[in-house]
Amino acid sequence: MCLGVLLDDRLSFAPHVRRIASKCFYHLRQIRTVRHSLTAEAVKTMIHAFIASRIDYCNSVLYGISGVHLRPLQNVLNAAARLVLRRRKFDHITAAVRDELHWLFVVQRVEYKVCLLVNNCLRQLAPSYLTQMCVPVSTFAGRSNLRSAAHGDLAVPRFKLKTFGQRSFPVSGPSLWNSLPTTVRDATLSVNCFSVSLKTELFNRAYKTLS
């Protein structure tokens, strides 16, 4: 275990996700017992803190894992939304999460964290060992005139193993970054403006099938 992340030999993170989900459902049950004594705003604040410390903590390591293994965390997020919105256990919640809470799905929350890390690397706000993994295409000799260089794309290194290589930060970080619109990647944006633009982009991607 490192920084609270439980590693397994295949890096499926299934034991880690099950462990986190189990603890989350326990805490949600405790919150539910006092739900009637709290204001709606207090419950929302409490749940937001709960999600930030449990669902979002170190979640960038979960990029690329199987949807089956990630599902328990989405179930936790859905249960938290039902608690905030006073919905019953089996009520459909996706539309309400989109329209009332404006939460991202767990998959997009992971992508959001990875993209924030890449942005920090480009702004020299991250450790050097991560910064050197985010290299603009324009810095390579003979590639500065390419369209990808003009768009501010990052170089994506080749990898051998799809299971592990594609999930590694040197590959996943630049790949996700390159998939963002140039308006989101605009270097003149402040950190806060970038965060807002990034969430809006991922939010639209997540819920486009419901529009």
| DSSP secondary structure, 139-190, as one string | GSTT-TTSHHHHTT-B-----S-TTTGGGSHHHHHHHHHHHS-TTTS-TTS-
- Which residues in 5-34 are b (16+ Cβ under 10 Å) and which e? eeeeeeeebbebbebbbeebeeebeebeee
pLDDT of residue 159: 83
* Euclidean distance between CA atoms 7 and 12, whole angstroms: 8
**Percent above pLDDT 70 for the chain:** 92
C-alpha pair distances (Å), 8 with each of 59, 67, 70, 73: 15, 17, 15, 18
The answer to whether residue 162 scores a pLDDT higher than 70 is no
Residue 207 has pLDDT above 90, yes or no: yes
Angle at Cα 67 formed by Cα 8 and Cα 65, nearest 5°? 40
Q: Which of 72, 103, 134 is the last residue of a domain?
A: 103
4 assigned to some structural domain: no
CA distances from 169 to 21, 35, 62, 98, 100 (A): 24, 40, 11, 29, 33
- Mean pLDDT across 118-128: 95
- Let me know whether 93 and 117 are in one domain: no
How confident is the model over 74-100, as a mean pLDDT? 94
Question: Do residues 85 and 131 share a domain?
Answer: no
Question: Is the same domain home to 178 and 97?
Answer: no
pLDDT value at position 8? 87
Assess whether 80 and 20 both reside in one domain.
yes
Number of neighbours of residue 69 by Cβ within 10 angstroms: 16
Higher-scoring residue by pLDDT: 150, 84: 84
In whole numbers, what is the pLDDT of the chain averaged over residues? Answer: 91
Tell me which of 103, 118, 144 is where a domain ends: 103
Q: Are both 164 and 86 inside the same structural domain?
A: no
> What own/partner pairs with CB < 8 Å and gap ≥ 24 does 93-100 have?
94/210, 95/210, 98/203, 98/207, 98/210
For residues 43-51, give the mean pLDDT: 95
Q: Same structural domain for residues 148 and 188?
A: yes
Domain count, the chain: 2
Per-residue pLDDT, averaged over 111-126, amounts to 96
How far from each other are the two terminal CA atoms of the chain, in whole angstroms?
41
Look at residue 5 and tell me if it is in a domain: no
The average pLDDT across 195-199 equals 97
Residue 181 in domain: yes
Instruction: Please say if the pLDDT value at position 98 is more than 70.
Output: yes
Q: Which domain holds residue 19?
A: 14-103
Identify the pLDDT of residue 194. Answer: 97
Mean pLDDT of 98-104: 95
In angstroms, rounded to a whole number, what is the distance separating the alpha carbons of residues 81 and 134? 35
Mean pLDDT of 132-144: 81
Cβ contact 90:103 at 8 Å: no
Are residues 118 and 91 located together in one domain of the fold? Answer: no
- Note whether residue 32 is domain-resident: yes
Residue 211: which pLDDT band, with cuts at 50, 70 and 90? low
Residue ending a domain, among 103, 130, 151, is 103
Is residue 94, in this structure, part of any structural domain at all?
yes
Residue 9 lies in a domain: no
Identify the band that residue 145 occupies on the pLDDT scale cut at 50, 70 and 90.
Answer: low
Residue 18 covered by a domain: yes
Does the predicted TM-score (pTM) go above 0.85? yes
What amino acid is encoded at 153 in this protein?
A: D
Q: What are the tokens at 203?
A: 């939010």
What value does the mean pLDDT take over residues 82-96?
92
